[in-house]
């Protein structure tokens, strides 16, 4: 039923105007509708009090305002992280996370796909396999729910990272549309520089993304400094080896002037040695970049463990000697399964256990 209704979050400004024109409404109604959707973030048509009642009824018969049902929420006071699991109209489950930082940033980490086709071995989402792409509206709606939550507390969503479930550049068109909606002054009005996209390294799409004329931050999941090691962790490396990924990173910097971030999940005894740090330092020479070190989040389908803090420090020291800045990303909300895809895995496991028990 809901599938036949237009999801208003899927529509650009121009498309909202076209919808209003089709309903024989004056142009200013589109602006009013956009304000209800993105400024006031209302959840019902009844709440759109400056739209005539017949128009609200017509809209309710033709369209919907998103369509998520929240099925779980976990909050970790210690790491100021809130994780939510939503059910989509076709019963797919997706996760998003809100991170609240001491410097005032309020960052939503949102998903772009239900599942993921890339099969990275340590990733809970990769272990699930691919279900489907999210629509642009479904990507945006995740940010809207957190923005609504924050505004209820007198705060504002300041940043969005496309780092949840799925590979954003595999869902290129919808991800781009979502970024434009997030950024649009008539949309969520989040600055491009406050939006970051993380990719496993799809080379043609990184180049295409570089040409969009955007100032969005780019993060690339590297995780290893030789092709043999990277292919063992990220199967996509067999198609796009490290040399090509780095070439695409150089291209992104040249086109946008923005520093690229490389992500490196530190796995004990696998990719956390001083030799690997040296190799990474050599690879990144001359590139405007930053490295994010993330001690591995253990997942059910992968036997690896996070690196010890001394190893992490030693790794960072080598990078510093190469003139490469790095940060160790705190594993926020590890107690609430806030690693990519982990809450969904946990909820499904509990459901299975319940079924087995009954």
Contacts to ligand SF4 by CB under 6 A: 116, 118-120, 123, 125-126, 166-167, 200, 221, 340
One DSSP character per residue, 58-100 reads HHHHHEES---EEEEEEEETTTTEEEEEEE-TTS-EEEEEEEE
For residue 340, indicate whether it is catalytic: yes
Burial of 61 (0-12, 13-18, 19+ CB in 10 A): exposed
Decide whether 98 or 296 has the Cβ nearer to ligand SAH. Answer: 296
95 binds, among ligand SAH, ligand SF4, none (CB under 5 to 8 A by kind): none
Smallest distance, Å, CB 113 to ligand SAH? Answer: 8
Instruction: Give dist(CA 233, CA 36) in Å, integer.
Output: 45
Smallest distance, Å, CB 145 to ligand SAH? Answer: 19
Decide whether 74 or 199 has the Cβ nearer to ligand SAH. Answer: 199
Instruction: Give dist(CA 213, CA 210) in Å, integer.
Output: 7
Tell me the residue nearest to ligand SF4 as measured from the CB.
126
Smallest distance, Å, CB 162 to ligand SF4? Answer: 11
Paired tokens of 273: 């040695």
The residue from 205, 263, 270, 272 that contacts ligand SAH (CB under 6 A) is 263
Decide whether 17 or 127 has the Cβ nearer to ligand SAH. Answer: 127
294 binds, among ligand SF4, ligand SAH, none (CB under 5 to 8 A by kind): ligand SAH
Is 199 a binding residue for ligand SAH by CB under 6 A? The answer is: yes
Q: Name the pairing type of β-strands 195-199 and 159-162.
A: parallel
- H helix intervals, the chain: 13-22, 28-34, 53-62, 124-128, 136-152, 172-183, 203-210, 227-233, 242-256, 274-283, 309-321, 342-357
How far are the Cα atoms of 11, 63, 88, 136 from residue 25, in angstroms, in the given order? Answer: 17, 16, 31, 25
- H helix intervals, 104-190: 124-128, 136-152, 172-183
Decide whether 141 or 263 has the Cβ nearer to ligand SAH. Answer: 263
Paired tokens of 33: 């509708």
Per CB under 6 A, the segment of 88-96, 204-212, 289-297, 344-352 that binds ligand SAH is: 289-297
Smallest distance, Å, CB 113 to ligand SF4? Answer: 8
Among the listed residues 15, 95, 155, 244, the single catalytic one is 95
Is 340 a binding residue for ligand SAH by CB under 6 A? The answer is: yes
Nearest to 219 by CA among 235, 232, 237, 206: 206
Paired tokens of 115: 């599942």
Nearest to 20 by CA among 36, 5, 31: 31
163 binds, among ligand SAH, ligand SF4, none (CB under 5 to 8 A by kind): ligand SAH
Binding string, 79-118, against ligand SAH, x = CB under 6 A?
Answer: ----------------------------------------
Smallest distance, Å, CB 123 to ligand SAH? Answer: 4
Is 261 a binding residue for ligand SAH by CB under 6 A? The answer is: no
Residues that bind ligand SAH (CB under 6 A): 120, 122-123, 163, 167, 198-200, 221, 263, 265, 294, 296-297, 299, 339-340
Q: Known catalytic residues?
A: 95, 340
């Amino acid at each position: 039923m809901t599938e036949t209704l237009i999801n208003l979050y899927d529509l650009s400004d121009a498309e909202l105007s076209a919808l209003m024109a089709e309903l024989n409404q004056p142009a200013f109604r589109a602006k009013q509708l956009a304000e209800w959707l993105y400024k006031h973030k209302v959840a019902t048509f009844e709440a759109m009090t400056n739209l005539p009642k017949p128009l609200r009824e017509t809209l309710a018969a033709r369209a919907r305002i998103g369509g998520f049902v929240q099925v779980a929420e976990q909050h970790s006071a210690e790491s100021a992280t809130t994780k939510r699991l939503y059910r989509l109209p076709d019963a797919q489950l997706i996760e998003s996370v809100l991170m609240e930082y001491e410097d005032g940033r309020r960052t939503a980490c949102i998903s772009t796909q239900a599942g993921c086709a890339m099969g990275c071995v340590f990733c809970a989402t990769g272990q699930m396999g691919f279900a489907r792409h999210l629509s642009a509206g479904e990507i945006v709606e995740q940010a809207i729910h957190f923005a609504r939550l924050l505004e209820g507390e007198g705060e504002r969503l300041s940043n969005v990272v496309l780092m949840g479930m799925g590979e954003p550049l595999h869902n290129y068109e919808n991800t781009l549309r979502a970024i434009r909606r997030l950024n649009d002054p008539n949309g969520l009005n989040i600055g491009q520089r406050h939006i970051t996209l993380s990719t496993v390294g799809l080379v043609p799409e990184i180049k295409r993304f570089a040409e969009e004329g955007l100032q969005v931050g780019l993060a690339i999941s590297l995780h290893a400094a030789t092709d043999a090691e990277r292919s063992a962790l990220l199967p996509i490396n067999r198609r796009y080896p490290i040399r090509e990924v780095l070439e695409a990173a150089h291209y992104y910097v040249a086109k946008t002037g923005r520093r690229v971030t490389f992500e490196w999940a530190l796995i004990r005894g696998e990719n956390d040695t001083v030799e690997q740090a040296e190799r990474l330092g050599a690879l990144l020479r001359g590139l405007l970049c930053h490295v994010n070190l993330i001690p591995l989040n253990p997942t059910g389908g992968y036997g690896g463990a996070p690196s010890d803090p001394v190893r992490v420090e030693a790794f960072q020291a080598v990078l510093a000697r190469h003139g490469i800045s790095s940060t160790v990303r705190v594993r926020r909300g590890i107690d609430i399964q806030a690693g990519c895809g982990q809450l969904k895995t946990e909820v499904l496991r509990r459901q299975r256990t319940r079924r087995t028990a009954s």
